[in-house]
Chain A
């Protein structure tokens, strides 16, 4: 049902740490594997061994080069995973003509009920983040489910009741939790590290937050403070050996 709930009981989502993501694509493939086998239609691939391979993925990792405005500073590279942000004001839901797209009232997860979806693609048009992909084989819209079939799944050990991408991320750059709880791990990370919204001007109020990269290449500018640490004890090997003797005597 395409009307958004007035409020959701919880706000489950992800924090993605751009300072830590090494761009390994582990989350991409783990997501592909889990969601091919589980919720709804498998994520299909066209021309998987051919000239123009292309398939459905619910999570993709981009990379961006950032050139600081200060000319002397060096360019940086930021790996940037992106999946559905489970927006509070999800435009993908309200455009859906069939009610297939909906936002769950319990936890705010935005889902597609695949048996209702006609594959019109409108929700993907409405999503600014490119978080929805129409599966070419199944003809229905696929999107991140926040691994709804994992997070409450009593057939999984409790520690595994979290999204596949979070469980697999080798660098620990992905965190899952409830943003409506200010004390949750994700809320605290967001507060401490200045977690941000993507495209805030689109008014979607994303639940997922991104932690910005920490400032880089600061060392040289600290040389003033660091320099005394390199105060010479000797200028050449003779001086050094003298220093060595003096120092060793003291030990």
Chain B
């Protein structure tokens, strides 16, 4: 009998039109094709031409359509009418909203700009918002980096002029062994997955170092289930074993790092431990050919790694010498660290040996000539195909800065940074700390700040202190408590403002940060701080302005809410001046543009800032005649200039020939620039020339290209800083040298923590007696912090979260799946459901981050599982360490950078009867937008 089957239309029309823009569901910023039908968003897929994602798209990106349609979208500006936290608002017009904001801000600016604290959370327009804050004149500006991963960024930039994070990536095409430390998802979400897929397809191997074996670690060929907080020890043990076996790249160390630089040994003097420099300030090395001192970049020299030099009676020995003395000490042997790391010594040695094997027996070589900064020509590009990547697992600890440093030192010893098969920078990196600005806090009424807020200090003289030595910034960034807090300390703003320490502020202006919930430690405490009143009944933090696009927990605490559009309805700029989206082989920037029209009374926040800036008369936002300089953000994106010929967007600038699509990146702005971006798929790329692809910090072809593209104004080759001299400068101050002196209570800590060579110290365990279990969170790949929850598709995947408990602890506490446990820390308690997991460090529990929600938020029903069974660990984490009887509360953060130490949390478990809902439970907030529909069947064209 003939087979009968229906006739199908196998070529149905897919959409009316494809609009190409940039995803906003996380900071990875992939290119997306937005398919439009009947003027509505019908389907979103990855843009194949885009440098970041090359066509693929993650779950969040594909679910963008549900974000765009979410019932939680704010509808109009809101003025608070009930008490803070209640969620009672009235909708007002934009005119009124902007008048209120101007009414609050103008007097501050006239008298004391520091009374405004403007912090911008998960901002993708930091170069713009910081420009605004600088023009306003307040020193109090930062984004969220301080609680996110500043250890990673700062350690990388101080050590090698770039970090993991968004600054670089493994050479996925050539690496043969990839070691991944403490990563669940990362900002580079899609590229990491693509990379893992690529190296798996080639049969290369992955080692995952992580207490938890999920996600990337689950596909790793070998798993190192390390005890949290001990990576530094593990890494230094690898360094020890490799150095002992002579498995380090001496040639690389001599040429490209400060290993041959000379450390002055003059105990007691104010130069002790500094590097020997010439009059021009250049580090000196011994040239093996002559035996004489020479500046490190002198043409033709060959720096000596092991020599010593006596100058004016002071002995100087190389950094390499120092390192040998430090790391060959038996305290760093595999056997000595094994127990603390929770990894057998045999395994540590096996990892070290495998690294050695791949690095030295399987080296790769690319047939490509290049010339280094000393003028020497190299016939090929050699590489050691071991690559590393790490993120918050090593950085979100109070010893994270030095741990991240240790990992960079390991990479550099192996000679595997910026070489084929190793770790590669993404333009505009490499860029050493010295090429970055220093922090500025110089403030005057009615005038812009004296320079950019954030930067990289080189010593005590760069700290942001007032004349009386007190912190200049509300978050106490760049003070003796955390001298190298390169990203500010957003997590301290609310508690400092509440305490009036270092001073009181008037208006807290926040943008996209859910500070009253998942973004803060001590969540309950923060909610209280936001609602606490003084003896007159006035709020201790007098005014709060907040911009969000959705009905988040934080909205409820604002006095004035400026509703943003969704990402498909506004202009945005992914700029090279900001957190760029480049790949190792390309410089790239991109835009977002309104692919759909807003159907509500909302405005892009950046456009609102342009308007507000003009109303306040900020110089950068006003013309001579007092009129607004920028009609909106799109206008700013095209017409703003940071330096001559350098603007927010590098593509299609005037002066570039029409037939040179890649252009130079520099030049005057051009009116049709945005249309050219749109025509090109929303982005611009410029390829790194072949001879410039590796060895970027020392490769003259790259240096020239970087100048042409506008990253530097002149070639700036530099050495990798195995030994970080600025750290030593702080130690010298703590030892009593120099005019700027730390308070006595901090001297010992600074001396111990700010070692110029990476060290490992256990994190402060004060008050942790009896709390023995590590408690961690991980990013779920299919959720973005709090804001994935409003997404009807994603919330079905992660609608509540159990606490995962290792088999051993399950047995010890008589727990089985579905039981509830009371989890206590020195700071608080939560009661939550548990689930067993065997592929987990024996002494670690964990849960997915930011799944728990407050009732009434996100337009969810109040009995949503996120609120009844979901929970946050944040209730257990405090921004301060427990009292230790010295009259001080020490911050729960890295003593060098101020990085919030989320992952230092220690807890205790006990089985308990199941409560009606997870604890603590908070009163519901009223939803300013109501709740969502009963069913959903989204289809644009029926």
CA gap between A23 and B242 in the complex, in Å: 35
CA gap between A250 and B60 in the complex, in Å: 55
A50 touches B934 (CB 8 A): yes
B304 touches A36 (CB 8 A): no
B937 touches A44 (CB 8 A): yes
Residue of B nearest to A43 (CB): B937
B5 touches A102 (CB 8 A): yes
Residue of A nearest to B43 (CB): A37
Say whether chain A's binding surface is mostly helix, strand, loop, or mixed: loop
CA gap between A110 and B46 in the complex, in Å: 27
CA gap between A226 and B352 in the complex, in Å: 9
Q: Mark B20-56, 1 if CB is under 8 A from A, else 0.
A: 0000000000000001010000111110100001011
Instruction: Assess whether A159 is interfacial by the CB under 8 Å rule.
Output: yes
A130 to chain B, nearest CB (A): 16
Candidates B35, B254, B328; contact of A234 at CB < 8 Å: B328
Instruction: Assess whether A181 is interfacial by the CB under 8 Å rule.
Output: no
Candidates A17, A48, A226, A236; contact of B936 at CB < 8 Å: A48
Instruction: Assess whether B767 is interfacial by the CB under 8 Å rule.
Output: no
Instruction: Assess whether B357 is interfacial by the CB under 8 Å rule.
Output: yes
B564 to chain A, nearest CB (A): 20
Candidates A44, A76, A171, A251; contact of B839 at CB < 8 Å: A76
A76 touches B58 (CB 8 A): no
B45 touches A164 (CB 8 A): yes
B859 touches A49 (CB 8 A): yes
Among B130-138, B218-226, B478-486, the stretch that binds chain A is: B218-226
| Residue from A21, A217, A237, A245 whose CB has the most chain B CB atoms within 10 Å | A237
Instruction: Assess whether A125 is interfacial by the CB under 8 Å rule.
Output: no
B899 to chain A, nearest CB (A): 27
A219 touches B10 (CB 8 A): no
B264 to chain A, nearest CB (A): 19
Candidates B5, B864, B868; contact of A105 at CB < 8 Å: B5
Instruction: Assess whether B207 is interfacial by the CB under 8 Å rule.
Output: yes
A139 to chain B, nearest CB (A): 12
Instruction: Assess whether B356 is interfacial by the CB under 8 Å rule.
Output: yes
Point out the residues of chain A lying under 8 angstroms from B10, CB to CB. 148-149, 152-153
A69 to chain B, nearest CB (A): 13
A26 touches B207 (CB 8 A): no
Q: Mark B315-336, 1 if CB is under 8 A from A, else 0.
A: 0000011001100110000000
A33 touches B43 (CB 8 A): yes
B56 touches A170 (CB 8 A): yes
Q: Contacts A159-B48, A237-B328, A241-B321; is A53 near B241 (CB within 8 Å)?
A: no
CA gap between A154 and B12 in the complex, in Å: 8
B59 touches A29 (CB 8 A): yes
Instruction: Assess whether B267 is interfacial by the CB under 8 Å rule.
Output: no
Q: Mark A136-168, 1 if CB is under 8 A from B, else 0.
A: 111000000000110011111001100010011
CA gap between A243 and B247 in the complex, in Å: 12
A155 to chain B, nearest CB (A): 5
By the criterion of a CB under 8 Å from any partner CB, how many residues of chain B are at the interface?
A: 117
B198 touches A29 (CB 8 A): no
Would you list which residues of chain B between 1 and 29 have a CB under 8 Å from chain A? 1, 3-6, 8-14
CA gap between A247 and B251 in the complex, in Å: 10
Among B208-216, B406-414, B633-641, the stretch that binds chain A is: B208-216
B12 touches A149 (CB 8 A): yes
Q: Contacts A53-B799, A67-B838; is A79 near B320 (CB within 8 Å)?
A: no
B215 touches A220 (CB 8 A): no
Instruction: Assess whether A169 is interfacial by the CB under 8 Å rule.
Output: yes
Residue of B nearest to A228 (CB): B353
Q: Contacts A33-B63, A113-B6, A234-B246; is A154 near B11 (CB within 8 Å)?
A: yes
Instruction: Assess whether B201 is interfacial by the CB under 8 Å rule.
Output: yes
Instruction: Assess whether B905 is interfacial by the CB under 8 Å rule.
Output: no
Candidates B6, B324, B352; contact of A241 at CB < 8 Å: B324
Instruction: Assess whether A209 is interfacial by the CB under 8 Å rule.
Output: no
Residue of B nearest to A226 (CB): B353
Point out the residues of chain A lying under 8 angstroms from B347, CB to CB. 219-220
B939 touches A29 (CB 8 A): no
Point out the residues of chain B lying under 8 angstroms from A240, CB to CB. 243-244, 246, 324, 328
Instruction: Assess whether A24 is interfacial by the CB under 8 Å rule.
Output: yes
Instruction: Assess whether B922 is interfacial by the CB under 8 Å rule.
Output: no
Would you list which residues of chain B between 256 and 313 have a CB under 8 Å from chain A? 288, 304-306
Instruction: Assess whether A235 is interfacial by the CB under 8 Å rule.
Output: yes
CA gap between A63 and B254 in the complex, in Å: 48
Point out the residues of chain B lying under 8 angstroms from A5, CB to CB. 3
CA gap between A43 and B796 in the complex, in Å: 13
Instruction: Assess whether B90 is interfacial by the CB under 8 Å rule.
Output: no
Point out the residues of chain B lying under 8 angstroms from A79, CB to CB. 215, 218-219
CA gap between A165 and B11 in the complex, in Å: 18
Candidates A32, A168, A170; contact of B197 at CB < 8 Å: A170
Q: Mark B906-942, 1 if CB is under 8 A from A, else 0.
A: 0000000000000000000000000111111111110
Instruction: Assess whether A248 is interfacial by the CB under 8 Å rule.
Output: yes
Q: Contacts A25-B797, A168-B45; is A244 near B305 (CB within 8 Å)?
A: yes
Q: Contacts A20-B197, A251-B250; is A55 near B5 (CB within 8 Å)?
A: no
Point out the residues of chain A lying under 8 angstroms from B254, CB to CB. 248
B256 to chain A, nearest CB (A): 15
Instruction: Assess whether A54 is interfacial by the CB under 8 Å rule.
Output: yes
Point out the residues of chain B lying under 8 angstroms from A217, CB to CB. 221-223
Q: Contacts A22-B781, A25-B797, A149-B10; is A219 near B222 (CB within 8 Å)?
A: yes
B806 to chain A, nearest CB (A): 10
Q: Contacts A1-B5, A229-B356; is A222 near B246 (CB within 8 Å)?
A: no
Instruction: Assess whether B771 is interfacial by the CB under 8 Å rule.
Output: no
Would you list which residues of chain A between 31 and 82 have a CB under 8 Å from chain B? 32-34, 36-38, 41-55, 57, 63, 65, 67, 74-79
Instruction: Assess whether B860 is interfacial by the CB under 8 Å rule.
Output: yes
CA gap between A1 and B2 in the complex, in Å: 11
Instruction: Assess whether A3 is interfacial by the CB under 8 Å rule.
Output: yes
A22 touches B215 (CB 8 A): yes
Point out the residues of chain A lying under 8 angstroms from B45, CB to CB. 30, 164, 167-168
Instruction: Assess whether B764 is interfacial by the CB under 8 Å rule.
Output: no
B244 touches A234 (CB 8 A): yes
B550 to chain A, nearest CB (A): 12
Instruction: Assess whether B350 is interfacial by the CB under 8 Å rule.
Output: yes
B933 touches A230 (CB 8 A): no
Point out the residues of chain A lying under 8 angstroms from B790, CB to CB. 49
Point out the residues of chain B lying under 8 angstroms from A241, CB to CB. 306, 321, 324
CA gap between A145 and B934 in the complex, in Å: 27
A75 touches B71 (CB 8 A): no
Residue of A nearest to B48 (CB): A159
The 6 A-B residue pairs with the shortest CB-CB distance, nearest first, are A49-B932, A226-B353, A170-B193, A172-B197, A75-B838, A48-B792
Show 19 residue pairs from A and B whose CB-CB distance is below 8 angstroms, ordered by the A residue.
A20-B200, A20-B201, A34-B43, A36-B938, A45-B792, A49-B931, A53-B795, A55-B792, A63-B218, A74-B223, A76-B213, A77-B214, A155-B13, A223-B353, A226-B349, A230-B353, A235-B328, A237-B325, A240-B324
